[in-house]
Amino acid sequence: MDIKTLQLALALGNLSLCAALFFFGLEARRSGNPARVHATWAWAKQCQAVAWLLLYFRGVLPDFLTIPFANAVLFAGFALDAAALWEQAGRRVWRSHLLPALGVAIGMYVGAWLLQAPAGMRIAIASGAAGLFFVAGAAALGRGWSGGTPLRRYLVVTMLALSAAVVLRGLWSLLPEGVNGVSTLAVQGVGVGALYLMMLSNAFGYLLLAREQAQSELARLEVVDPLTDVPNRRGFYQALTPWIALARRPGMPTALIILNLDQFKRVNDSYGHPAGDMVLKAMVDVCKKQLRDSDQMGRLGGAEFAILLPRTSLEDASMVAERIRNAVAALPVKAEKAIINMTASLGVTVIRAEDSTVSLFKRADEALQAAKQGGRNRVVELSHQAVTN
Ligand SMILES: Nc1nc2c(ncn2[C@@H]2O[C@H](COP(=O)(O)OP(=O)(O)OP(=O)(O)O)[C@@H](O)[C@H]2O)c(=O)[nH]1
């Protein structure tokens, strides 16, 4: 395959990825889920498609377009490829490293062109820059090496090998012509072929990271409440299980508080659902400020929360609950249209040796219902006696 055909294949390959990303974004917007994550990768593909097209038309279009400009756009595309991989790997700090590197690469290449340096020098600069950005991308994939899948490791090794091929092709161009008896065309072919394979490896690597990120987000949402960012019922039960087992052994008890915001339905009805959401988030912040790091708060659903207090007696847990009740009542929540005053009712109990999750929550719920029936804005411990109001 000659170089021109490979350049055209690279342009078309990147263009088809651009088209796929465009339609992916369209679908996402239609389903009300705007695709924000793929923007960097889409830019990378657009830059590369434009650059390869310009390179393909070398000799037809003016030199400044097909040499310095095309290469600068190509470097930007490679840098953005690496950036997209780093973003998918969860590290967005790439800009501080990749942007200066891109600036240096473009500066060196354009400088060499303006100074009319030999073509071999320009090729070496371009290959070095490309190799650097490819290694940066491979490093993003390689972050998960120890726990990585064989596919991930294969892609890292492939990308590193292709980076090495690209850099060696650049170094070869610095050698005096004819030294090795290898045809220049063959070496050029290896270089552009490596770039083609890199386009494919990069796409696989990117999609692999995107899939892993989506999977870990799904796994997180199974146990975390997306609104308040505390464990949901399932997550809270998971955190509770070892403490129920531990309650069968002698030692300090573990306490459980159930908190329900009073008349929360009225907030939604009067100020709207978004205001209700703001109140829920604010309540979590208020409660967390009253808790120790070792305590665990979860959202059981609606306006109901549970708080686990390891190594805490019933008396101490009631004091904490009372502190929370005071804090909730003392802090008005600023919503868009109003300042909302809230109160909360709380039921407190400790885990007993014979408890199961069901019996524990039944008791805590009885205490909570007693607080509601006693007039709300109060704490009741399992003895069903209101300790305060
Ligand atoms: N804004 C918002 N509201 C929610 C959410 N989940 C449930 N709700 C609403 O929360 C309200 C729960 O009210 P309840 O706890 O049953 O009752 P209440 O009005 O607080 O009254 P008492 O508990 O008896 O004091 C219902 O109106 C639900 O529609 C949510 O995620 N956001």
Q: What whole-number distance in Å separates Cα of residue 165 and Cα of residue 5?
A: 20
From 201, 223, 245, the end of a domain falls on 223
Q: How far apart are CA 101 and CA 96, in angstroms?
A: 9
Q: 274 in ligand 1 pocket by Cβ < 6 Å? A: no
Does one domain contain both 154 and 241? Answer: no
User: 305 C-alpha to center of ligand 1: Å?
Assistant: 12
In a domain? residue 275: yes
Domain-terminating residue out of 163, 197, 223: 223
Q: Specify the amino acid at residue 21.
A: L
Q: What is the CATH number of the domain that holds 238?
A: 3.30.70.270
Strand 255-261 with 344-350, pairing: antiparallel
Dihedral angle of Cα 221, 273, 329, 371, to the nearest 10 degrees: -80
**202 & 271 share domain:** no
Asked if residue 228 belongs to a domain, the reply is: no
Say if residue 184 is in the same domain as residue 64: yes
Helix (H) or strand (E) holding 349: strand 344-350
CA–CA distance, 297 with 239 (Å, rounded to integer)? 10
Where among 187, 203, 223 does a domain terminate? 223
Mapped onto helix, strand or coil, the DSSP state of residue 208 is helix
Burial of 323 (0-12, 13-18, 19+ CB in 10 A): middle
User: 368 CA to middle of ligand 1, Å?
Assistant: 15
**360 and 238 both lie in a single domain:** yes
Q: Is 12 exposed, middle or buried (0-12, 13-18, 19+ CB in 10 A)?
A: middle
Atom of ligand 1 nearest to the CA of 266: 19
Indicate the pLDDT class of residue 180, thresholds 50, 70 and 90. low
Residue 201 exposure: Cα atoms within 13 Å on the Cβ side: 26
Dihedrals φ, ψ of 337, to 5°? Answer: -105, -5
SS3 347: strand
The model's confidence at residue 181, banded by pLDDT at 50, 70 and 90, is low
- Into how many domains does the chain fold? 2
Question: Is 264 a pocket residue for ligand 1 (Cβ < 6 Å)?
Answer: yes
Separation of CA 337 and ligand 1 centre (Å): 19
What tens digit of pLDDT does each residue of 18-58 get? 998 888 888 777 776 655 558 888 999 999 999 999 999 99
ipTM: 0.90
For a ligand 1 pocket test, name from 265, 328, 340, 341 the mutation site with the most ligand atoms within 8 angstroms of its C-beta.
Answer: 265
* Whole-angstrom distance, CA of residue 323 vs CA of residue 233: 24
The answer to whether residues 56 and 37 touch, using CB atoms and an 8 Å cutoff, is no
Measured by CA distance, the residue closest to atom 26 of ligand 1 is 265
Q: Are residues 200 and 253 in the same domain?
A: no
Q: pLDDT (tens digit, 9 = 90+) per residue, 305-338?
A: 999 999 999 999 999 999 999 999 998 888 877 8
The predicted model gives 3-13 an average pLDDT of 92
Choose which residue among 232, 268, 365 to substitute to test ligand 1 binding: the one with the highest number of ligand atoms within 8 A of its C-beta.
268
Q: Which domain holds residue 243?
A: 233-388
pTM of the model as a whole? 0.67
Q: Tokens 């975390």 label which residue?
A: 224
Q: What is the CA radius of gyration of the chain?
A: 31
Shared domain check, 142 and 49: yes
